[in-house]
A and B are shown apart, each in its own frame.
Chain A
């Protein structure tokens, strides 16, 4: 990057704004003193307890760095964007010549600027640990790269969440941070204390059969996530009333995930159960993408108005304001193809050595997963189209009854049946919910007497809901179109009456 380009980039007004407001001398000095005291305590404890050589002192420092950069940084990004959005000042930026890219990058790098400075303050202490031999320089660099990449993902997710969530005047960033630290602080500390030992093992992962350093594979996944999160953030930064991803972008996101997942577990027979994890990942991603691209009733009507003005009966299938049916079909095909490819890729491999091979019916689990994606998308579109703003409530109720209630009922039945019978009827009822059903279908072996019941209760509701919501959506669409035509005719009549 040339000097001029760098200067131009650093002159990003949003970045400069955060540098000014977040690096004021007094609050910055206080924060630095607190961090330095923490670091000195860790180093002193490491010296007293002689934990430098074992890497535990470094691990504690790494935990502190993670909290500063990942947790506090993400909180800052979320708060800054949320506050700018709630106050309405983000609208000013939207109508300034700043591009959505500049805006996104300005908030992304600017909001956590104090956290970057605090992180930099901890680095000399990490280097001190390095001098004692643990971790090695190679491991240290790997960990730092991973930490920064992970921080960026969390910052990106916080930014996107702030742009998608209901705008609040007072973002609850600090409350979120406290809850996070209370819930996960202990585990985080415990896990990160051993980080130094982990990186020095020089682990390698395969990607489509190629053996690569673990960090390369992880960075490949992180860059894909970061790219699509940035893309969504950039779109929302440009306009409040736009879907985070267009239908094409959402399909690209699902396809990229599929490509990466297939590559990562390609012929890894020692982790056969990863097939089920992959299936869940595909379904969860598809569900999230459906939520991002499905238009509500108002948007659909807007699309009809726009199409009518352009002399068409409806907009193209790829338009943001069009129904999600074609998109849904493609997403289902991607989930089906990816899961089938992974399943076929693993067929004939040796038995799992680390995680057990599923003994149930994986094809049936794949079918259930695809149908779940299909009916989720159809139901979401139906409720939005049929009930307008109230559709979200009804859709939530439907999901509760179809996804959560079977888990509750199964748990109650399991507890009531006692330990001897537990796991039979309850598993059949659990399977009614796709949250458990997909996994149980794939793992409940043929030897189990109730395996057919588990499989049937996983696939039947999925099949039924797909059929029912498809039919309902067709009628809801007709109804919406009739209502639109009536409104359009009355508007036409009104405008004719005007002198």
Chain B
């Protein structure tokens, strides 16, 4: 579990993070979202102990970052947005360096290095010089480096930037698997559509402050207040319109791409009740889709409200 309380970080005359409190449960993939300069990277760097906060408490997997910084790095893996590498090493030597840094015994290192190269799809580049790798490959190498010590929590800052589509799919699968294994992942990215697919919770930052955080459904409910229903009906829509307009939980209707879309203040059960009512009234429903707003919508809504 990651627990941050009253975190404040100041740079030269700039307050980068202001009294931020955040909790991320084990097994959660938390998307840290915000515009440039919101304080996402600073928060991550403070979580790993790279930046000493002005004040505040950070506890990662039961380890206090300020009191036991040497222990924090054993439980957390950090991957920055731009992957720094030693260009004068070979790919396997680079991973071996970090395997040794994390105390993996000498005889186990070749196995671990091979396994992680395989995992990120760089097995063929094992003996290549790091300088020869493309940006995306370096990003994969960095991911392998981050995973090699088997961290219980992962902090990934823009991990998909520069990675090709196949690499993004691989990354997505790796993250899903890590979350299934019970590891806590905090990930910041500007590609909100992709984060939407694997984030279970979200923390939206704006100008150094946390605007909203929690599980995506909860945040959605709090911020958007409802879900979006998209219904396609066959034949005359009058009956359908009457049923929907009679339901107090339904918002104004809008016709989009041949379907009716409207906001609906209710959970999945309430939506199924509405569908049952429609069928009961002999409305010929061709499709009935309940859609939660994605992170992009959420971010835009929270951001615009905050800026306003």
Contacts and interface: CB of A to CB of B under 8 A. Distances in A.
Given A20-B93, A95-B48, A95-B73, A301 B101 contact: no
Contacts of B82: 88
A242 B13 CA distance: 17
Contacts of A447: none
Contact of B100 (A13, A88, A99, A240): A13
A25 interface: no
A97 B86 contact: no
B50 A94 contact: yes
Contact of A298 (B11, B18, B88): B11
A155 B22 CA distance: 44
Contact of A241 (B13, B52, B100): B52
Contact of B101 (A84, A96, A388): A96
Nearest to A93: B101
A309 interface: yes
Interface residues of A, number: 36
A397 to B, nearest CB: 20
Ranked 7 nearest A-B pairs via Cβ: A88-B84, A13-B100, A309-B55, A89-B84, A87-B84, A21-B88, A96-B101
A412 interface: no
A187 interface: no
A482 B78 CA distance: 39
A388 B70 contact: no
A92 B52 contact: no
A200 interface: no
25 contacts: A11-B100, A13-B97, A13-B98, A13-B100, A13-B101, A16-B97, A20-B93, A88-B80, A89-B85, A89-B86, A91-B50, A91-B80, A93-B101, A95-B48, A95-B72, A96-B102, A239-B52, A240-B50, A242-B52, A298-B10, A298-B11, A298-B12, A305-B10, A388-B12, A388-B13
Nearest to B80: A88
A302 interface: yes
Nearest to A242: B52
B85 A302 contact: no
A16 B93 CA distance: 10
A495 B19 contact: yes
A309 B72 CA distance: 24
B292 to A, nearest CB: 24
Given A96-B101, A96-B102, A241 B12 contact: no
A491 B80 contact: no
A448 interface: no
A302 B86 contact: no
A256 B289 CA distance: 78
Interface string A230-243: 00000000011110
Contacts of B145: 92
A130 interface: no
Contacts of A325: none
Given A17-B93, A91-B50, A97 B19 contact: no
A285 to B, nearest CB: 28
A463 interface: no
Nearest to B77: A95
Nearest to A305: B54
Contacts of B70: 97, 99
Nearest to B93: A20
A388 B86 CA distance: 36
A283 to B, nearest CB: 30
B106 interface: yes
Interface in B31-89: 48-52, 54-55, 70, 72-74, 76, 78, 80, 82, 84-86, 88-89
A88 B27 CA distance: 29
A301 B8 CA distance: 12
Contacts of A240: 50
A13 B76 CA distance: 19
Given A21-B89, A389-B13, A16 B54 contact: no
A241 B51 contact: yes
A92 B12 contact: no
B103 interface: yes
A305 B55 contact: yes
